[in-house]
Amino acid sequence: MGNIVAIVGRPNVGKSTFFNRMVGSRHAIVDQVSGVTRDRIYGKSDWNGVEFSIIDTGGYVVNSDDVFEEEIRKQVILAIEEADVILFLVDVRDGITSMDTAVADILRRSSKTVHLVVNKVDNNLLRYDANEFYRLGLGTPMCVSAINGAGTGDLLDEVVKSFSPVHEEVQELEIPRIAVVGRPNVGKSSLINSLVGEERNIVTPVAGTTRDAIDTTYNKFGYNFTIVDTAGLRRRTKVEENLEFYSVVRSIRAIENSDVCLLLVDATQGMENQDLFIFNLIQKNRKGLVIVVNKWDLVEKDTKTTDRYTKLIKERIAPFQDVPIVFASALTKQRILKVLETASNVYKNRKQRIPTSKLNEFLQATLDIQQPPTYKGKYIKIKYVTQLPTPTPAFVFFCNLPQYIREPYKRFIENRLREQFDFTGVPLQIYFRAK
């Protein structure tokens, strides 16, 4: 189970810059594309080998000129519910504002680990000013400068220390964990209810924190699996547009804790941007994937409808095409078993280990079809391939000049791997290394 760190604070204290610094990339430079880039609210980071996820709760405030205290309050409460560690960012140049005090009040009452982070401390004089923040009653303020990175190392040391130790669950029987994710109102709860049926006695909540209590173990139709449900948690918020933000944060947790994700798409609306965002999260986390087109009973159909729909979805999710798509209806229970069967196959595909001898036969056959193109007059020779002992499928090809292997050839190799060994629904990683 990954650890999740949330950044909270009022606007303009430097949350985006700080987020970029933590994720170690410039991708969160705030593009003003229709308001806010959603992509920048989530990133992965790693400090001294400890990997964790970071959520910037401020990355989704609609029209941020008039941010209501209510909005920030909701973000803080969400962070308390969902994150393991909270970083509360304040601005040394502004001192304590009434909004900072309000946020601190909520955080003090929570049982979560909170680090008070004073941003924009660029010199020693400002370090002295940072002492004022002791008044918030959240312990010792940690001084950082998100712009130049000062103090972030010490902060990360503290953050990593406060993670609860990750216990690899030793399971006698490996039970696939299936997450049901998707935008609000696509029918996640209905799908889960159709799977469980009314026989609630087969539902055994897995012990653990309240957050994990929504994991339910099912044993039905000859399948044994754990469903990680995001639907059961949502509180109706008054502000409709923020529902999407909350559903994304919930999805992040569910995706990270799963083996296979069922991405529900509303048949009457098609694949929207929010669906693509969740699709990319699943890919980033290298999880198995089944796209379930729900509410299929509501669509007017002729003989070509399914093909047309499949083509549209594949265009949206390109270049990763090798994804099973199931047309179903949670309401009429149409193809519900097909959904389970497909998820179960994807789980097996993700667990596959291919013997090295088989892989090298595959390599020989592939090279007979097409050698890597020469680059700057240099011939590239691929000698050998092996699968890495990683939880998800990853392959290393050893060759003389790995730096000259281009993207199209990588894709050719990946497509050949997928044809030869069944990796449907599973993201693959392919590396080229010098011998």
Give pLDDT tens digits for 13-53. Answer: 888 888 888 887 544 443 333 334 344 577 778 888 788 88
Lowest mean pLDDT of 124-133, 288-297, 361-370, name the range: 124-133
Higher pLDDT, 241 or 285: 285
Confidence of residue 80 (pLDDT cuts 50, 70, 90): confident
Instruction: Give percent of the chain above pLDDT 70.
Output: 81
pTM of the model: 0.70
According to the model, what pLDDT value does residue 231 have? 53
Instruction: Give percent of the chain above pLDDT 90.
Output: 41
According to the model, what pLDDT value does residue 101 have? 92
Single-letter residue type at 116: L
pLDDT tens-digit series, residues 216-245 = 677 776 788 888 766 544 444 443 445 566
Q: Is residue 59 over pLDDT 80? A: no
According to the model, what pLDDT value does residue 197 have? 65
According to the model, what pLDDT value does residue 1 have? 54
Residue 219: beta bridge partners? 224
According to the model, what pLDDT value does residue 382 have? 93
Q: Give the residue carrying structure tokens 């087109």.
A: 293
Average pLDDT, the chain: 81
d(C-alpha 177, C-alpha 226), whole Å: 5
Q: What is the mean pLDDT of residues 173-195?
A: 81
Q: Is residue 384 over pLDDT 90? A: yes
According to the model, what pLDDT value does residue 166 have? 56
Higher pLDDT, 65 or 326: 326
Q: What is the mean pLDDT of residues 349-369?
A: 94
d(C-alpha 177, C-alpha 189), whole Å: 17
d(C-alpha 11, C-alpha 33), whole Å: 18
Give phi and psi for 261, each to the nearest 5. -110, 135
Q: HSE on the CB side for 371, CA within 13 Å? A: 10
**Burial, 310: exposed, middle or buried (Cβ in 10 Å; 0-12, 13-18, 19+)?**
middle
Confidence of residue 358 (pLDDT cuts 50, 70, 90): very high
Q: What is the mean pLDDT of residues 310-321?
A: 89
Q: What is the mean pLDDT of residues 285-311?
A: 91
Give phi and psi for 63, each to the nearest 5. 30, 85
